[in-house]
Amino acid sequence: MSSNQTPKGISNRASLTRFAWLSIAAAILTILLKSGAYLLTGSVGLLSDAIESLINLVAAGMALWMLTIAARPPDESHMYGHGKAEYFSSTVEGILILVAAIGIAFTAIERLFNPIPLEQLGIGLGVSLVATLVNFVISRVLLSVGKKNRSITLEADGHHLMTDVWTSVGVFGGVGAVALTGWQILDPLVALAVAINIVWTGIQLIRRSVAGLMDTSLPQYEQQQIEAVFDRYREKGIDFHALRTREAASRRFVSVHVLVPGDWTVHDSHHIAEDLERDIRAAIGDAVVITHLEPIEDEISLHDIQLDR
């Protein structure tokens, strides 16, 4: 038997697309601001910041597309829904980040050998600071909504924007150091550091996306919470094996074999299974819980114990 209750956090998945539109608007605004800051100063550090905002725009567009697909209800070809489409968005975003890092690195290396004096640093930094504040506010919104709704797409977008914030802080430091010391080499060196930071973020996003596509098990602490529920039921003479868990974007799945006394009626066993499914959802949050009843005295019930591994 199973519980296919629609998780509350994804019951209105389509509503999340408005946050993707918010990310798109923020990306366009920051591109304009940071490009203006670069044109005013000639700083390759600020240019690297503007390039990353361009990647933010492409990633936000991809996020909108995948969230739209993920919101589609299950159909004959996708009976478990379309939620895994979100992993494509975070994978593409990770790849785009790596491409941006390569572009920034090449630009910075060229500027190392051909330094150009920076101009109008005060105005340029002021404009870039406004863009950074926009990214900070939007990133916090995306991270909060993404975590609440278990949307890896919005979380990835939020983490990317937050990385952009820290990147901008580093650029401010590099450009500010140039203004104070006159050492033009500091600007491309900071840009190289930005590129390295972006590479790490891209790799992390890709790794997380691949893990999701491979049906990673639920976190260890949630599996322990499930085991705690089992312990309460074991006091009633019930046992369990073949516990399997997995995550598929916003959806979580739990399946387990429930061993009950053979002299129990189907009615009593069914109610125990329903109670168990309810308690598992109460312990770990909304999930699709699937139970399979077996008589505890029947040796055949142990033939599939290898599923525990």
Domain boundary among 156, 179, 213: 213
* Residue 189 structure tokens: 């060196």
CATH of the domain at 165: 1.20.1510.10
197 and 242 housed in the same domain: no
Of 157, 178, 213, which residue is a domain's last? 213
151 and 168 share one domain:
yes
Answer yes or no: do 23 and 172 share one domain: yes
Q: Which residue type sits at 88?
A: F
The token pair that represents 179 in the structure block = 């203004």
Q: Are residues 196 and 241 in the same domain?
A: no
* 170 shares a domain with 54: yes
Query: Domain count of the chain?
Result: 2
Structural domain for 267, as ranges: 220-308
HEC readout, the chain: CEECCCCHHHCCHHHHHHHHHHHHHHHHHHHHHHHHHHHHHCCHHHHHHHHHHHHHHHHHHHHHHHHHHHCCCCCCCCCCCCCCHHHHHHHHHHHHHHHHHHHHHHHHHHHHHCCCCCCCHHHHHHHHHHHHHHHHHHHHHHHHHHHHHCCHHHHHHHHHHHHHHHHHHHHHHHHHHHHHHCCCCHHHHHHHHHHHHHHHHHHHHHHHHHHHHCCCCCCHHHHHHHHHHHHHHHCCCCEEEEEEEEEECCEEEEEEEEEECCCCCHHHHHHHHHHHHHHHHHHHCCCEEEEEEEECCCHHHHCCHHHHC
Domain boundary among 158, 184, 213: 213
User: Tokens 């990133």 correspond to what residue?
Assistant: 139
Residue 279: both structure tokens together: 């308690």
The reported pLDDT for the residue numbered 277 is 93
Q: Up-side HSE of residue 198: CA atoms within 13 Å toward CB?
A: 31
232-285: pLDDT as tens digits: 999 988 999 889 998 877 778 999 999 999 889 999 999 999 999 999 999 988
Amino acid letter at 213?
L
Specify the pLDDT at position 308.
57
139's CB contacts (< 8 A; 6+ apart) are 158, 159, 161, 162, 164, 165
Same-domain pairing of 247 and 304: yes
Q: 173 and 298: one domain? A: no
Q: With a cut of 70, which residues of the chain have pLDDT below it?
A: 1-14, 43-46, 48-49, 111, 115-125, 170-176, 178-179, 182, 184, 187, 304-309
Q: What backbone torsions phi and psi does residue 11 show, to the nearest 5 degrees? A: -65, -25
